[in-house]
Amino acid sequence: MCGFHKWISFMQYDPTWRQHRKAIHQQMGTKKTAAQFNDAQDMETRRLLVRLTEDPKGLFQHIRSEAAAIILRVTYGYAINPHEPDPLMLLIDTMMDNFSKAFVPACWVVDSIPLLRFLPSWLPGMSFKTTAADWLRINHQANDVPYAFVQQQMQKGTHRPSYVSQQIEQSTRDGTLAMDRDVEDTIKWTASVMYGGGSDTTAAVISAFFQAMVMFPDVQAKAQREIDTVVGSSRLPELQDQDQLPYVSAVVKEALRWFPITPMGVSHVNEEEIEYAGFTIPKGSIIMPATWWFQNDPQVHANPSSFEPERFMAPRNEPDPAQTIFGHGRRVCPGRFLADMSLFLTLSRVLAVLDVRKAVDKSGQPIDAKLQFQPGMISRPAEFPFYIAVRSPSHARLVQDVASLLPKEAGDDTLLDLVTR
């Protein structure tokens, strides 16, 4: 009813699903193809550092802006407004908030009694129909507006390379932007699901990382020592440093495990009868992966509530959370390589130049940051008290140098006005 059934995560396995999956996989389904977007990740992680040094109290908004900026540039070649709330980012964030609410278990009676959707909306208890219609309108707007933006920029020859522009180029052979309606729908809906899978989830993991650094300062100090030894203080960590930063890489893995962003994963349907642990699971059953438990099973991960990157290093060598966090089987997240690179760059660079500590109250006493969850299909940590400072004068100079080299580009939000006018 809301339109989310057109996202690949919730489609049945059929030719349309395969077409959507192929489109995404061709652009970012491997490390090599995902690497084409490294420049966007590099620039936006640098911008995050500058924002955090200038306005550390705006941490949560800065995290959302960084995650949104990366995925919007990757998907649409769109630059968000660097100074004011961006209208496209706000529109798609509204869609993602609706998405999270739509999939709260047992929240909507129509999910249990589907026939209710055929009753008139004026009947008592039918308010879900008005909500669904409003959310469907927002979904279509979030699909159509950025797609039209890319089309407009391509017609002018001013577009930035992106997922959508490459898909359009591959789908048009006669020099025009006209194409089959089904192909156009594939591009639109795969683009919007990329935002959902790449922005909200990444922002949630980064927020959880900051809270972990507040709660587990020894982890932060150990990671910083590794960065200081390998990278030094005259430059920022790069993706090429990842193999030489095993502890920092383990911090990224632990951030994914410690705060599972999709606690119940995405539902699957088994294509044949399964015998498991003495139970018979009939063909066609809906199976929900217990992602939270996979990361918190004490027989798999010792002391699961503790943030311990060492668990992924010798001699412990606990299972990599990527095996379950990013989904299962044919529905595994196609953007997992892009996400891994974004998380490594963001977390390693924050650790390189910033100290994240407990906030203090008026009497100078530290304030504990308790890990609390916001409910929804995509779980987010609730906001928490913190204190952020640049590590040293040399690190402050490094951030100043980074700021001076950032391109002084304006956002593309004014161009959206032309599209939606």
Q: Has residue 374 got a pLDDT over 90? A: no
pLDDT per position as a tens digit, 309-346: 999 999 999 999 988 888 887 778 777 888 899 999 99
State the pLDDT at residue 34. Answer: 85
The answer to whether 214 touches 369, Cβ cutoff 8 Å, is: yes
Sequence-separated (6 or more) residues with CB below 8 Å from residue 245: 226, 227, 230, 231, 237, 348
Query: Residue 11 pLDDT more than 70?
Result: no
pLDDT of 279 over the 80 cut: yes
* Spatial CA neighbour of 262 closest among 214, 285, 309, 294: 294
Confidence tier at 387 by pLDDT (50, 70, 90): very high
pLDDT at 12: 75
Residue 385's Cβ-count burial label (10 Å; 0-12, 13-18, 19+) is middle
- pLDDT band at residue 418 under the 50/70/90 scheme: very low
Q: What is the pLDDT of residue 241?
A: 97
Phi, psi torsion values for 389, nearest 5 degrees: -145, 155
Query: What is the Cα–Cα distance from 237 to 345, expressed in whole angstroms?
Result: 7
Q: What pLDDT was estimated at residue 213?
A: 97
Check residue 143 and give its pLDDT. Answer: 85
- The larger pLDDT score, comparing residue 27 to residue 11, is at 27
Q: Which domains does the chain have, with CATH numbers?
A: 4-420 (1.10.630.10)
Q: 57-61, 62-66, 120-124 — which is least confidently predicted?
A: 120-124
Check residues 131 and 160 and name the one with the higher pLDDT.
160
The pTM is what?
A: 0.88
Q: Residue positions in the annotated binding site for heme?
A: 333
Give the pLDDT score at 421.
46
pLDDT score of 395 more than 50? yes
| pLDDT category of residue 4 using cuts at 50, 70 and 90 | low
**Rounded average pLDDT over 56-71:** 93
Q: Return the structure tokens found at 135.
A: 């959310």
Annotated binding site: 333
Instruction: Give me the pLDDT at residue 350, please.
Output: 98
State the average pLDDT for the chain: 85
Average pLDDT over residues 171-188: 74
Look at 94-103, 148-157, 185-194, 391-400 and tell me which has the smallest mean pLDDT.
94-103
- Find residue 389's DSSP bridge partners: 355
What proportion of the chain, given as a percentage, has pLDDT over 90?
Answer: 43
List, for residues 217-232, the tens digit of each pLDDT value. Answer: 999 999 999 999 999 9
Residue among 186, 211, 189 nearest 63 (CA):
211
pLDDT at 125 over 70: no
pLDDT at 349 over 70: yes
Is the confidence at residue 152, as pLDDT, over 50? Answer: yes
CA distance to 189, 290, 322, per residue, from 267 (Å): 19, 10, 18
Q: What is the distance between the alpha carbons of residues 236 and 398, in angstroms, rounded to a whole number? A: 8
Band (pLDDT 50/70/90 cuts) for residue 247 is very high
Q: What is the pLDDT of residue 307?
A: 97
